[in-house]
Amino acid sequence: MKKYIIGDPIPTEAVVADIPSEKAFPPIGTSALKENSYTLVLPLSKDAVVYGLGESPRGMNKRGWEYISYNCDDPMQTESRRGLYGSHNFLIADQEKPVGLFIDTPGKVRFDIGYTKRNELSIESPKDVAVYVIEGDSPQDIAHNFRKIIGKSYIPPKFAFGYGQSRWGYKSEEDLRNVADELERHQIPCDMIYMDIDYMQGYKDFTVNESRFPDFPAFVEEMKKRHIHLVPIIDAGVKKEEGYPVYEEGVEKGYFVKEKDQETDFVGAVWPGYALLPDFLNPEARAWFGEQYRVLTDAGIDAFWNDMNEPALFYSEKGLHELTEYLRSFIEDPDSGNVHELEMKVAGLNNSPEDFRRFYHRYNGKTYVNEDVHNLYGFNMTRGAAEAFDHLRPDLRTLIFSRSSYIGMHRYAGIWTGDNKSWFSHIKLLLSQLPGLNMAGFLYTGADLGGFTEDTTPDLLARFIQLGVFTPLMRNHSAILTRDQEPYQFENVEELAHLIQVRYRLLPYLYSEYLKAALNDEMMFRPLSFEFRDDPEAREVDDQLLLGDEVMIAPVYEQNKNHRYVYLPEEMIKVAFKPDGSIEEERLAKGHHYIEYPLDEIVFFIRKGKAIPVAAPAMNVDEVKSDDLLLIGDTGTYQLYEDDGIHQKSPVTKRILKK
Amino acid sequence: MKKYIIGDPIPTEAVVADIPSEKAFPPIGTSALKENSYTLVLPLSKDAVVYGLGESPRGMNKRGWEYISYNCDDPMQTESRRGLYGSHNFLIADQEKPVGLFIDTPGKVRFDIGYTKRNELSIESPKDVAVYVIEGDSPQDIAHNFRKIIGKSYIPPKFAFGYGQSRWGYKSEEDLRNVADELERHQIPCDMIYMDIDYMQGYKDFTVNESRFPDFPAFVEEMKKRHIHLVPIIDAGVKKEEGYPVYEEGVEKGYFVKEKDQETDFVGAVWPGYALLPDFLNPEARAWFGEQYRVLTDAGIDAFWNDMNEPALFYSEKGLHELTEYLRSFIEDPDSGNVHELEMKVAGLNNSPEDFRRFYHRYNGKTYVNEDVHNLYGFNMTRGAAEAFDHLRPDLRTLIFSRSSYIGMHRYAGIWTGDNKSWFSHIKLLLSQLPGLNMAGFLYTGADLGGFTEDTTPDLLARFIQLGVFTPLMRNHSAILTRDQEPYQFENVEELAHLIQVRYRLLPYLYSEYLKAALNDEMMFRPLSFEFRDDPEAREVDDQLLLGDEVMIAPVYEQNKNHRYVYLPEEMIKVAFKPDGSIEEERLAKGHHYIEYPLDEIVFFIRKGKAIPVAAPAMNVDEVKSDDLLLIGDTGTYQLYEDDGIHQKSPVTKRILKK
């Protein structure tokens, strides 16, 4: 493994290992330098499969599309998108001699993976860039070698593996208590209830609305007694408001990003209206912002989600003023005006590329325009929080995950896949994202089950949950003004409750597999081809995944389907968790199968010679007992990893279970 | 079969048969009248499948979603959409006693098909409505009975079954000639080249840009010698411009839709800027507009597509003036303004619901606000053209298809499915739409192959074409500023040429099946369950279709997949048209199969005991010879329907071919 340094790359802190580097083009493919860019072109064989690029859109095999790494808050996660909230510039070209590439730059990178020319992978980055060439015997080996150099993945507290209920629109103690009550009433296990932006006072970070939460610490405590952790959201933008201490202190200390003159604070706008962006790339500012979480940790909060940190910008003060000038001229003679241009200009306020050229960071002793270090912003916001927790909550693990990210942030936190939609196709999207995220170190991850924007349906929610029971982050989240999406809103609440209950029975296995993946630098979710190297049929499968060494999952992601085709690359045991609490097992031969997958069951497969532990039913993670585990699957042993799930340095025990 | 009249329904002319009617609620389900609406609720059995609703989004089985019939130009054809460009209010609930329902009203209708309550179909319409209850022994029988009462489907000229090349952006003779040359150079058969909005002078209907087409009739003739029919677009809106005869005459005669005062012409805006909408619901206005096509038929044009006839409205004069007032107040203090509201107001100009309450039609001797008769607009625009062709091109068939439609328009024209996307999921969308459209009488139909908006990929185009070779309308169309999409733009042009060549070999069969479906009131494309009534596996298949009585199609609609699962409800013969021109046949047993479907082949299935004719290769429809047909498939006979493909009243011959 080697690092090739082209020009004078901006450091990212993605890689922590000290590995040999050379000031030269990488010795594979064809490199070329242009005035403003570096390109690396690698031939792809006809049958090459390309894996990676983290949470980026489209299939597990990234071939046939182009991707752009440039973190962006755009909730239209369609097939046409080039990228999403995080930039994870690691990929593996799986061909005769498989190779891994990590393009390490905080700037924009374009990956043309057989989009322009079918048999060519072409990467275009800023002209100063570090390229890591990661070798290995197999894609799995390459992914492992890459993980070794980027540092160990974040391990959250164990409660973070429970079910979380969220919705944009919960406003008060009463709202949240009602959610807890309804979940309990319907026997839906739960460990977390999320607090979206409405808990704050005027969308001001580190405030809690005092009329709607008259005694917040008492309420946190009340919920904790019910085994429920409240998870408040923290947004990147700090409201511009005289008298608001976070704003005033940040201004005074010069901790916000600046305009070109390096003096004027750049004024953007997000939920609170005009807001300033802390310069998370500056270690002092980052530490200062992290310190603010104390308001909430002091109130007993032990879990957070960081949002709007691409950063998202609804508009900027300058952008709005420029638009105002445009509007002024438009209204002089609207009948002759270019209405299409008007529409574009107004819509273009949102996350305008121009705005990302308007503000500057202090980073590594230098000044950088955001555009050049853009992809590091969310990473460093979240890192700042994680570093603060080390003294705000010493020795304890804190749940923290972020929307935006860059490789390196996986050491500090998890991510969720952002604002997805209530679409069946987004079940498959999540399935496709998991291996790419795991390769990039992101293990604590999941999607908004049921879909964030648009209206869900009860069967869509069930299908989402049938995949979500396996993802470390299991959260049902939805946007305001969409159809209510808590399981108890639907006729089939009992079915949904059963599905979520199964999650808790699988928890010892899932937590153990998470620990293994984190501690051993392995992927928790792998494409079939990573294991079954010589099986051409396994290689084409893009809607099934291996989970650990024992399990294969194959969720349904189409409406009105109660069956799906599943390919078994070897003999396996089909497992079905039935609504009556029983577990049905059936041995199936290698090959293609047409499998029944009802809405009210959890169905998956255990590999030949493997067994997994199943716990007794529980209503929260604290209740899950690991001393009396049932082993299901084939005759075999299972090595269970355990720790206390609470402390940073809890020792890990490894226990062999036999069936 | 019976018609139930609730209140005083606005006639639509969808149904042409004189069938018994009763002033009563239909004798099925539960009817209820509210102040402004009528609702009909029908229980659905657990396993009921609901088919129909024409081109509406989502799967073939409409269950689990709600749909709204209200024709709209919105190119985001995602899973969340409730409806598209046409309203086709016919559905079949396939349960123990299958039943067909046609909700006949030109106003908005909401179909909640197990969306709110899983086992309930709930229909909400305006309070004056005609409900047809269509009975039959099976869904197929019901569809046939419905087709019998709505009149025979349109039959286009035979050349319309060839391949058509289109792109928004062709501007001149040279552009179009270049397309013809490139197609020819790459041996891509072609019968039609489309002329999108740029052929006009300032987007004025019935004008041809004189500098870019200095001698248009000569150019039409030149193309016709190459067997290429030019297909100009006609938009609904007429540019408001002094001196433009269509505008001036329409104003003078009062043929445009009016504001509430019934005097002022309603001013909308589309491509040409401010434009007036002909009142197609008024027979005189409709006939007058139809007469305008003479400018183009006199130049030799024999094919048209009618667009923007939902109607699409970019904005209205009044709406823009109201917005201007809003902008005026906004700019007074932008920093305190509600920017989200500004964005909504500007974006809301487009197809504003308010605008559809601002203009009025004269229809059946009465005055109606557009909202109440909204879904009839595109129907009557296209009907006006078709009626004019009867004397502009007497005895001859003219190709005409429309974007917007209502049931009834199928007697006059075809439709295309509007502005789809370059998404793999839209291949499946087209597949799902075909049976619903056929039930509603629309046989001449197809989607923009390769996808209209967004960037295509060469493999996506190939997969689209692999379905498109079977759809009567086979057109590659794309939007300006997207990736070039003609087959010759890609490395795999030879593969794409081969796929299109296969269309011409299948043409005698496709045309014959089209004639059968049109003349016998049958569906050309049917769900498997329509034929295999007692097969529960066939009932769940939603990505395969029967074509006629002989063929089953099962296209690939996912990227990086060279295989797919196919269910054979009986023994069938798999047919593959290979790139070398050979045809491979293989007999497969009833059951589930994992089928190879390479990018450069056309693969489909012929049913047991059936055979289909295949023609020799040809470069255009005129060249397709039907006197020396090869029969492929099983031992059996095929009844070939033929006519001259040119004349309205060409006699149909029926020839038995034996294998």
Question: Is B558 in Cβ contact with A542 (below 8 Å)?
Answer: yes
Instruction: Using an 8 Å CB-CB cutoff, list chain B residues near A422.
Output: 79-80
Question: What is the residue whose two structure tokens read 């946190």?
Answer: A220
Phi, psi dihedrals of residue A250, rounded to the nearest 5°? -60, -40
**A455 vs B contacts (CB less than 8 Å):** 80
| pLDDT at residue B530 in the model | 98
Span B145-191, pLDDT tens digits: 999 999 999 999 999 999 999 999 999 999 999 999 999 999 999 99
Matching residue, tokens 């609170």: A272
Test B314 with A349 for CB contact under 8 angstroms. Answer: no
pLDDT at residue A542 in the model: 97
Instruction: Using a CB–CB cutoff of 8 Å, tell me whether A347 touches chain B.
Output: yes
Per-residue pLDDT band for A194 (boundaries 50, 70, 90) equals very high
pLDDT of residue A144: 98
Residue A45: how many CB atoms within 10 A of its CB?
A: 12
Beta strands B366-369 and B360-363, pairing class: antiparallel
The reply to whether A607 falls in a domain is yes
Q: What percent of chain A has pLDDT over 70?
A: 100
| Residue that finishes a domain, picked among A116, A150, A184 | A150
**Residues B415, B276 share a domain:** yes
One domain for residues A476 and A606: no
CATH code for the domain of B552: 2.60.40.4040
- For A199, the token pair is 């808990």
| Domain co-membership, A441 together with A532 | no
Would residue A146 count as lying in a domain?
Answer: yes
- Which of residues 446 through 485 in chain A touch B, CB cutoff 8 A? 454-455, 457-460
A64 close to B (CB below 8 A) = yes
pLDDT of res. A51: 98
Task: Assess whether A622 and A525 both reside in one domain.
Answer: yes
Q: Tell me which residue in A340, A349, A458 faces B118 most closely, judged by beta carbons.
A: A458
- The share of chain A scoring above pLDDT 90, in percent, equals 99
Residue B198 three-state SS? helix
Q: Please count the CA atoms within 13 angstroms of the CA of A573 that sit on its side-chain side.
A: 20
pLDDT single digits (tens) B428-452 = 999 999 999 999 999 999 999 999 9
Q: How far apart are CA B345 and CA B542, in angstroms?
A: 40
Read off the pLDDT of residues A378-422 as tens digits, 9 standing for 90 and up: 999 999 999 999 999 999 999 999 999 999 999 999 999 999 999
- Of B342, B316, B340, residue with least CA distance to B329: B342
* A293 in the same domain as A279: yes
User: Are A119 and A228 members of one domain?
Assistant: no
User: Are A454 and A496 found together in one domain?
Assistant: yes
What digits encode the pLDDT tens for the residues A612-635?
999 999 999 999 999 999 999 999
Q: Which of B600, B506, B492 is nearest to B547 (CA)?
A: B506
Q: Per the domain annotation, does A48 fall within a domain? A: yes
Mean pLDDT of A447-458: 98
A190 within a domain of the structure (yes/no): yes
**Rounded mean pLDDT of chain B?**
98
- If phi > 0 it is left, if psi is from -120 to 50 it is alpha, else beta; for residue A644 that is alpha
In a domain, A486, yes or no: yes
- Residue indicated by tokens 């509603």: B440
How many domains, in total, are found in chain A? 3
Residue A61 is part of a domain; what is its CATH number?
A: 2.60.40.1760
Of the three residues A509, A539, A564, the one that is the final residue of a domain is A509
Among B446, B493, B486, smallest CA distance to B469 is for: B446
Q: Find the CATH number of the domain harbouring A401.
A: 3.20.20.80
Task: In whole angstroms, give the CA distance from residue A456 to residue A511.
Answer: 29
Q: Are A140 and A204 part of one and the same domain? A: no
pLDDT digits (tens, 9 = 90+) for B586-604: 999 999 999 999 999 999 9
**Confidence (pLDDT) at B143:** 98
Domain boundary (B480, B509, B538) is at B509
Q: How many CA atoms lie within 13 Å of B348's alpha carbon, on the beta-carbon side?
A: 13
- A485 vs B contacts (CB less than 8 Å): none
Q: How far is B648 from chain A (nearest CA, A)?
A: 43
pLDDT of A407: 98
Task: Give the confidence band of A37 by pLDDT, cuts at 50, 70, 90.
Answer: very high
Asked if residue A350 is part of any domain, the answer here is no
pLDDT tens digits, B347-369: 999 999 999 999 999 999 999 99
Contact B424/A79, CB-based, under 8 Å? yes
Q: Domain check: are B525 and B490 in the same one?
A: no
**SS3 category, B35:** coil
Chain B residues with CB under 8 Å of A335 CB are 274, 317, 320
Structural domain includes residue A266:
no
Tell the residue number behind the tokens 């004056």, with chain if given: B128
Res. B8 pLDDT band, cuts 50 70 90: very high
State the pLDDT confidence band at B491, using cuts at 50, 70 and 90. Answer: very high
Range of the structural domain that residue B525 is part of = 510-658
Verify that B293 and B432 share a domain, yes or no. yes
Q: Do A390 and A487 share a domain, yes or no?
A: yes
pLDDT in tens, B547-594: 999 999 999 999 999 999 999 999 999 999 999 999 999 999 999 999
Cβ-nearest to A331 among B315, B328, B424:
B328
Round to the nearest angstrom and report the end-to-end CA distance of chain A: 41
Same domain, A473 and A381: yes
Tokens of A628: 């009396």
Which pLDDT band, with edges at 50, 70 and 90, does B415 fall under?
A: very high
Cβ–Cβ < 8 Å for B496, B188: yes
CB contact under 8 A, A320 and B327: no
Largest Cα–Cα separation, chain A: 81
Asked whether the beta carbons of residue B540 and residue A559 sit closer than 8 angstroms, the reply is no
Helix, strand and coil percent figures for chain B, each rounded to 5: 30, 25, 45
Is A358 a domain residue? no
Q: What is the ipTM of this complex?
A: 0.97
Q: What mean pLDDT is predicted for residues A485-497?
A: 98
